[in-house]
Amino acid sequence: MVRWHRLVGAVAAALTAFTFAGAVPATAAPATAGDVTPYVVGGTRAAQGEFPFMVRLSMGCGGSLYTPQIVLTAAHCVGRTGANTSITATLGVVDLQSTSRITRRSSYVYRAPGYNGVGKDWALIKLQSPVTGLATLPIATTTAYNSGTFTVAGWGAPYEGGPQQRYLLKAQVPFVPDSTCRTSYPSMVVAEEICAGYTGGGIDTCQGDSGGPMFRPDAAGAWIQVGIVSYGRGCARPNYPGVYTEVSAFAAQIASAAASL
């Protein structure tokens, strides 16, 4: 089973299950990836304010605040490019039921040109009004940060086939070389995708984490986004790392598209 992404964790059994209103299981998108699941497995609960750029989207995906009015997510989470007021973004909280949560409706969706279910898995969602008081997440513009240990976070299932979560989970996953990843995913688009995870499994993104960011500290110690949760086989399975859109490969296109919205 391939999932369109997820986060899974050993702490899942202790967490209170939460189904996000109006959410569509990540496995529902796209038709070519019927066995994809997205969420954070093997994660722990994030602290309020730890990752202020995290966004929960009402179709059951994640995202990151690219600018105060634009969310970066996965192409497989959205429909075609054009006006769209059907998406609700929830921001500013780790608890989706918090009375302090910020919500914004979408006004426009921009899906990566040429996206057909293979590679190019990025999209932008313009919000109807800017969000103030929250940090945005810069994206990598070179491959300089495409190694080491990454952080992933999301409200997705805590185990394969599990429920969406009320509280934001986080986990760390190590870089997996392209040559190793291709043994698990022969169709991996090396120039556009990056892999991370453990050989023995146990920690991963999962159903509902699709579109969320994979990030790490930059040279100054600030967070920088390196990947976008895209797909994987099951969740946290041994020898099947998570596959992420390699943000630096599309940095110029993302910046240009955002400037045009």
Q: Which residues form the catalytic set?
A: 76, 121, 210
Bridge partners, 216 (sequence order): 224
Nearest to 7 by CA among 23, 26, 22: 26
Strands 88-91 and 169-176: unpaired
Residues 126 and 69 sit within 8 Å (Cβ to Cβ):
yes
- Whole-number Å distance between alpha carbons of 222 and 138: 9
99 φ/ψ angles, rounded to the nearest 5 degrees: -70, -10
Which amino acid type is present at position 141?
Answer: T
Count the Cβ atoms, other than its own, within 10 Å of residue 85.
11
Q: Please give the sequence-ordered ranges of beta strands (E in DSSP) within 53-148, or none if there are none.
A: 54-57, 61-67, 70-73, 82-83, 88-91, 102-111, 123-127
